[in-house]
């Protein structure tokens, strides 16, 4: 189902699509590719929305910085100093997080209106980022296919091609609260990562891949998420051709379980400590599947370079169950 929910200041219409399958309902906006809500049952069969969002378009326009539910690009997470050198050429980006570039710059994909076409059990969202936008080289064509499978799992399949060498790192920035209200501080989180990337005061990785053993970053066994996380975890599986399960979030009160499977080598865990009004700190947990922050300046990290003739592909699957 497709409905008009508002217009931007320049008159561009914004639509909302509703997907339903296997007891799961998902609403997605053309603005930012935003996952507005995800409704799933609890252990008693009561359906509730388990993601943070606003009822209408105005809320997202008034509060852009939490990146609620949005598709993120052209580079998810941070690039230190808002610059990188590729093939001997330095590219200066738009700094929008102090001196650094965050989530694609001042007008990333989260602030674009995507073209949307319907596909079987879902949608295909697409856009073009022109050469030089936010300082990134190359004309980038991006498509994200969002579908619900026969179990009600939400699949996000990303593709991109470029006409010049560039860096690409795409993700989704949904905040999950499986209780449907209050905070997610009581949720239990498990992440299949024996290492993480420590960062400096500006959240730029130091380059170290640190062992999580004996630290609060050891989430290999489920533990209360609490707060204080805005960190990239190095997934043990690395880059894979098909999605593999890497994380699980569980709310003991409702019984809802979220599983995350991905092809990506990292996952950013953000406990929304600084999410800002109108939400309270810890209102949700973002689990952003991705390549590592500042990879363009860290050749020792998995590469995010995309060249002409290549196709960037990535897939993440969010599964829902109860126990």
Q: How many CA atoms lie within 13 A of 236 on its CB side?
A: 13
Query: Is 149 within any annotated ligand binding site?
Result: no
| DSSP code string of 37-85 | EEEEE-TTS-EEE-B---SSHHHHHH--TT-TT-EE-SB-SEEGGGEEE
Q: Are the C-beta atoms of residues 292 and 257 closer than 8 Å to each other?
A: no
Query: Is 177 within any annotated ligand binding site?
Result: no
DSSP 8-state secondary structure symbol assigned to residue 113: B
Q: Residue 296 — left, alpha, or beta (φ > 0 → left; ψ -120 to 50 → alpha)?
A: alpha
Query: Is 173 within any annotated ligand binding site?
Result: yes
Query: Is 175 within any annotated ligand binding site?
Result: yes
Query: Is 97 within any annotated ligand binding site?
Result: no
φ, ψ dihedrals at 290, nearest 5°: -170, 170
DSSP 8-state secondary structure symbol assigned to residue 114: P
Give dist(CA 193, CA 233) in Å, integer.
6
**Active-site residue set:** 173, 288
Range list of H helices, 51-202:
57-62
Residues facing 285 on adjacent strands = 176
Query: Is 230 within any annotated ligand binding site?
Result: yes
Would you tell me how many other CB atoms lie within 10 Å of the CB of residue 64?
14
Give dist(CA 123, CA 138) in Å, integer.
26
Q: Are the C-beta atoms of residues 155 and 145 closer than 8 Å to each other?
A: yes
φ, ψ dihedrals at 210, nearest 5°: -90, 145
Annotated binding residues, written as ranges, equal 77-78, 173-175, 230
Q: Which residues are annotated as a binding site for beta-D-galactose?
A: 77-78, 173-175, 230
């Amino acid at each position: 189902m497709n409905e008009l929910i508002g217009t931007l200041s320049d008159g561009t219409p914004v639509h909302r699509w509703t997907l339903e399958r296997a007891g799961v309902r998902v609403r997605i906006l053309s603005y930012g590719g935003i996952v507005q809500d995800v409704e799933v049952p609890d252990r008693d069969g009561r359906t509730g929305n388990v993601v943070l969002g606003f009822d209408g378009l105005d809320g997202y326009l008034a509060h852009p910085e939490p990146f609620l539910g949005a598709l993120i690009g052209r580079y998810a997470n941070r690039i230190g100093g808002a610059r990188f050198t590729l093939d001997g050429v330095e590219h200066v980006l738009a700094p929008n997080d102090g001196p650094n570039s965050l989530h694609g710059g001042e007008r990333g994909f989260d602030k674009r209106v995507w073209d949307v076409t319907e596909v079987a059990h879902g949608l295909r969202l697409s856009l073009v980022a022109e050469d030089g936008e936010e300082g990134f080289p190359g004309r980038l064509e991006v498509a994200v296919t969002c579908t619900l499978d026969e179990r009600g799992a939400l699949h996000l399949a990303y593709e991109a091609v470029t006409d010049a060498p560039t860096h690409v790192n795409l993700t989704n920035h949904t905040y999950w609260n499986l209780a449907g209200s209050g905070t997610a501080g009581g949720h239990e989180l498990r992440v299949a990562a024996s290492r993480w990337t420590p960062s400096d005061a500006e959240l730029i990785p130091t380059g170290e891949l640190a062992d999580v053993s004996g630290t609060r970053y050891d989430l290999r066994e489920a533990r209360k998420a609490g707060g204080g996380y805005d960190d990239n975890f190095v997934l043990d599986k690395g880059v894979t051709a098909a999605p593999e399960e890497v994380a699980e979030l569980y709310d003991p009160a409702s019984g809802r379980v979220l599983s995350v499977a991905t092809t990506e080598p990292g996952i950013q865990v953000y406990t929304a400590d600084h999410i800002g009004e109108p939400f309270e700190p810890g209102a949700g947990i973002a689990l952003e599947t991705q390549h590592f922050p500042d990879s363009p300046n860290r050749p020792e990290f998995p590469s995010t370079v995309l060249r002409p003739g290549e196709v960037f592909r990535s897939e993440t699957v969010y599964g829902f169950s109860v126990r």
